[in-house]
A and B are shown apart, each in its own frame.
Chain A
Amino acid sequence: MRHLLDLESLSAAEITGYLDTAESMAEILRRSIKRVPTLRGKTLLLLFFEASTRTRHSFELACKVLGADSLALSASTSSATKGESLLDTGRTAEALGVDGVVVRHASSGAPQLLARHLRVSVVNAGDGTHEHPTQGLLDLFSVRGRKGGIAGLRVCIVGDVLHSRVARSAVHGFAKLGASVVLSGPPALLPGRASPAGWPVDLEPDLDRALDGADVVMALRIQKERQEGGMFPSIAEYRARWGIDPARLAKARPDAVLMHPGPVNEGVELAPELMTAPPSLIADQVRAGVAVRMAVLYRLLGGVGA
């Protein structure tokens, strides 16, 4: 395994391998001196073509803890040249001798392009509306930590699934580890209308029904431009039908956990009082980010699992 491009093409064993490694990494993070020399001498290029706070910082922190050097490059993009500069930048990085490239890009498949043309390891830190595999892993890690396992859980993902890379990675990750997944949201923002057979999920636009029996509820960030693009009538109508508040959450199982990849539009997809309520895993998700990204870098660059 040289790259981490998506969760769709990973096996359950490979995903579990990452999660188990992340447990060891979390242990390092609990020490008073959070430094190990595991990746000393390795250099990573963090190539972020889109704004990112938590993903980028957690990769930087992961590099530091493991002793690797990181080189950050936030490229501003113009639509005409971003593709060209992506591959050019990747080739330059390779020529400079970096060991891996972590890339976030607005176009689906951008990391695959780098992986095809470069010899260094490529880690997908979010590509367009495709996948965000390290987010998927940290979601699994957080749920496993709270629930003790993934198999047999019922996971309800709510919102703009069609344009969400977080949702795609979550769907593949949860499904591969034996959970069942139901998607809910405005019809134009759900996949599977053309041919539902391609997705390992159930579809239930009615949120109350979708929440029935759910162990995990994941709300997604709603982008205002989707409403402006005519995919649902208004934010108010969205909140009324798919917004989650304590009464709504009560339709799920009593011990259900609540997730959100952040940043949250408070009062739209989630009621503000739910953010820090006991069911909320949102802080765990952020915390898990560093351990999971350490695990990814360690397994790809440290020669484990090759």
Chain B
Amino acid sequence: MKLVFHRAHPPAGPERDIYVEDGRMVGTSPPGDIPSGWEVVNCAGLWVIPGLVDLWAHLPSPAEAWREDADTLSSAALAGGFTTVCTVTKEHRAESLAGRAAPVRLVPVAAGTHKGHLAELDALRRAGAISYEVEADPGLMRRVLEYGELPIAVRAEDASLAHGGVAHESAMSELLGLPGIPAAAEMVAVARDLLLLKAYGGRLHFAHLSTAGAVEMVRRAKHAGLPVTAAVPIYNLLLSEEAIRHYDTAARLSPPLRSEADRQALIAGVLDGTIDAIVSNHQAVPAEDKDVPFAEALPGAVSLEVLLPAALSVLPADAVLRALVGRCFGLEPEGLVIFDPQAEWEVRSADFRSRGRHTPLEGQRLKGRVVGVMDGGGVLHKHAADSIIATIGGA
């Protein structure tokens, strides 16, 4: 398949024609006449950017596929411009790991330990795991740092300090009468794991930071040359704890939405590169676990379909795109995304392709929308009416 993305332009820069053959970019040129034999995708006024990479989306086990399965997750990813998604599984056996190729490459994050023992870490790596998690135990963390070859994904929440909490511990949680998760729960975990990293080597990736204190510790660790990377979930970047004021269970998230000062520190962390990635932390939660009082609701919200325009509402395009390329796990972007930076739309979760129906952005207006994706196999998926991306047969 031979495609020309005609008059495509990056967020900043001149228009050009991008020639793609079977999913591979084979050349670019200033906009001009198209040679015969090429199908033309008219991208005038639209951005054409590399396929996005998400490092942290929750995929339920096959037994719970009714919450979300690989098909619905992929479909949601594609709608949001993601051609690669790292799926958080709890699988510690290599034979149970299921990756997936086009249209959306699903790359598993495995469980690196199970009931206090090391999983077969090398077998997990060979089976396609991109990273693994370690149970919350400093001794185990040490062993995996010493033994493993992949970066360890860390959720960074001290269980004892976070015990029973459902919201950021603050005047807000106290006024609402909700048990709090103190910022210290995250900072203690980050400090501990950074000390272990320094002592025993290996690589760490903080999968979803939410506090200013943790960002500052990672900043210092990076200056000291430690091999550490970090990510922030899109909603923690976008919203503060103010979103839970009326007990909106769509804003019950893990990590919790924190203070405005934390949010500003997370934005600054993305801007100066302390935070390497913006992640979806996408998690479909069924209505029966959300239409309940706040503290009884399960945490999680869906976000793949809103992430890119939502991130562009708080950060400049170059910082956003730099944070969606999969650098932390050494992934290369696949495919291309066509994005209409001017399109305005209202978030309606009923229209989502994910099975999840909960987002704290429900009803809000976003500017910018993914209108098409060329997946890693070179197949073009159009999301909008033909009038937006006119494909014209080869001249």
Q: Which stretch (B189-197, B291-299, B373-381) binds chain A?
A: B291-299
Within 8 A of B (CB), among A111-139: 112-113, 116-117, 127-131
* Cβ contact within 8 Å between B291 and A168: no
Which residue of B171, B247, B293, B295 is within 8 Å of A191 (Cβ)?
B171
Chain A proximity of B240: nearest CB distance (Å): 13
Proximity string of chain A (196-236) to chain B, C-beta cutoff 8 Å, 1 when within and 0 when not = 11110000000000000000000000000000000000000
A165 within 8 A of B: yes
Q: Which stretch (A14-22, A78-86, A260-268) binds chain B?
A: A78-86
Which residue of B171, B291, B292, B297 is within 8 Å of A198 (Cβ)?
B171
Interface centre among B176, B288, B292, B296 (most CB of A within 10 A): B296
Q: Are A108 and B296 also in contact (CB < 8 A) when A84-B288, A194-B182 are?
A: no
Chain B proximity of A100: nearest CB distance (Å): 19
* Cβ contact within 8 Å between B170 and A128: no
* Cβ contact within 8 Å between B177 and A131: yes
Query: In the complex, A109 Cα to B166 Cα: how many Å?
Result: 13
Query: In the complex, A86 Cα to B180 Cα: how many Å?
Result: 24
* Cβ contact within 8 Å between A117 and B175: no
Residues of chain A contacted by B172 (CB below 8 angstroms)? 198
A87 within 8 A of B: yes
B223 within 8 A of A: no
A10 within 8 A of B: no
* Cβ contact within 8 Å between A108 and B293: yes
Give the nearest-CB partner of B249 in chain A: A113
For chain A, which range describes its interface: under 10, 10 to 19, 20 to 34, or 35 or more residues? 20 to 34
B178 within 8 A of A: yes
* Cβ contact within 8 Å between A82 and B296: yes
Residues of chain A contacted by B246 (CB below 8 angstroms)? 112, 116
* Cβ contact within 8 Å between A195 and B170: yes
Query: In the complex, A89 Cα to B174 Cα: how many Å?
Result: 28
Query: In the complex, A118 Cα to B174 Cα: how many Å?
Result: 26
Give the nearest-CB partner of B248 in chain A: A116
B68 within 8 A of A: no
* Cβ contact within 8 Å between A8 and B175: yes
* Cβ contact within 8 Å between A194 and B176: no
Which residue of B171, B180, B259 is within 8 Å of A196 (Cβ)?
B171
Residues of chain A contacted by B170 (CB below 8 angstroms)? 194-195, 198
Residues of chain B contacted by A191 (CB below 8 angstroms)? 171, 174-175
Within 8 A of B (CB), among A83-108: 83-84, 86-87, 105, 107-108
* Cβ contact within 8 Å between A113 and B171: no
Query: In the complex, A127 Cα to B291 Cα: how many Å?
Result: 16
Residues of chain A contacted by B158 (CB below 8 angstroms)? none
A29 within 8 A of B: no
Chain B proximity of A89: nearest CB distance (Å): 12
Query: In the complex, A131 Cα to B176 Cα: how many Å?
Result: 8
* Cβ contact within 8 Å between B291 and A109: no
Chain A proximity of B4: nearest CB distance (Å): 51
A67 within 8 A of B: no
Query: In the complex, A128 Cα to B180 Cα: how many Å?
Result: 14
Which residue of B171, B175, B180, B293 is within 8 Å of A107 (Cβ)?
B293
Residues of chain B contacted by A165 (CB below 8 angstroms)? 177
Interface centre among A107, A131, A195 (most CB of B within 10 A): A107
* Cβ contact within 8 Å between A109 and B294: yes
Chain B proximity of A96: nearest CB distance (Å): 20
Interface centre among A84, A108, A168, A191 (most CB of B within 10 A): A108
B54 within 8 A of A: no
B186 within 8 A of A: no
B276 within 8 A of A: no
Chain B proximity of A222: nearest CB distance (Å): 17
Give the nearest-CB partner of A161 in chain B: B174
* Cβ contact within 8 Å between B174 and A108: no
* Cβ contact within 8 Å between B291 and A130: no
* Cβ contact within 8 Å between A128 and B177: yes
* Cβ contact within 8 Å between B174 and A86: no
Within 8 A of A (CB), among B233-270: 246-247, 259
Chain A proximity of B259: nearest CB distance (Å): 8
A244 within 8 A of B: no
Residues of chain A contacted by B69 (CB below 8 angstroms)? none
Residues of chain B contacted by A198 (CB below 8 angstroms)? 170-172, 174-175
Query: In the complex, A82 Cα to B178 Cα: how many Å?
Result: 17
Within 8 A of A (CB), among B65-99: none
Chain B proximity of A92: nearest CB distance (Å): 15
Within 8 A of A (CB), among B182-215: 182
Which residue of B171, B259, B294 is within 8 Å of A108 (Cβ)?
B294
Q: Are A110 and B293 also in contact (CB < 8 A) when A198-B171, A198-B172 are?
A: yes
Query: In the complex, A197 Cα to B175 Cα: how many Å?
Result: 11
Residues of chain A contacted by B171 (CB below 8 angstroms)? 191-192, 194-199
B17 within 8 A of A: no
Give the nearest-CB partner of B175 in chain A: A198
B15 within 8 A of A: no
Query: In the complex, A197 Cα to B170 Cα: how many Å?
Result: 10
Give the nearest-CB partner of A117 in chain B: B291
Interface centre among A112, A130, A194, A198 (most CB of B within 10 A): A194
Which residue of A105, A112, A168 is within 8 Å of B175 (Cβ)?
A168
Chain B proximity of A110: nearest CB distance (Å): 4
Residues of chain B contacted by A112 (CB below 8 angstroms)? 246-247
Which residue of A84, A109, A131 is within 8 Å of B295 (Cβ)?
A109
Query: In the complex, A194 Cα to B168 Cα: how many Å?
Result: 10
Q: Are A109 and B174 also in contact (CB < 8 A) when A84-B292, A194-B182 are?
A: no
Residues of chain B contacted by A192 (CB below 8 angstroms)? 171, 174
* Cβ contact within 8 Å between B178 and A83: no
* Cβ contact within 8 Å between B180 and A83: no
Query: In the complex, A197 Cα to B174 Cα: how many Å?
Result: 12
| 7 A–B contacts from the bound complex (CB under 8 Å) | A83-B292, A87-B292, A108-B247, A110-B293, A130-B177, A130-B178, A165-B177
Residue positions of B touching A, CB distance < 8 A = 169-172, 174-178, 180, 182, 246-247, 259, 288, 291-297
Nearest 9 A/B pairs, CB to CB: A198-B171, A83-B292, A130-B177, A107-B293, A109-B247, A129-B177, A108-B177, A191-B174, A83-B296
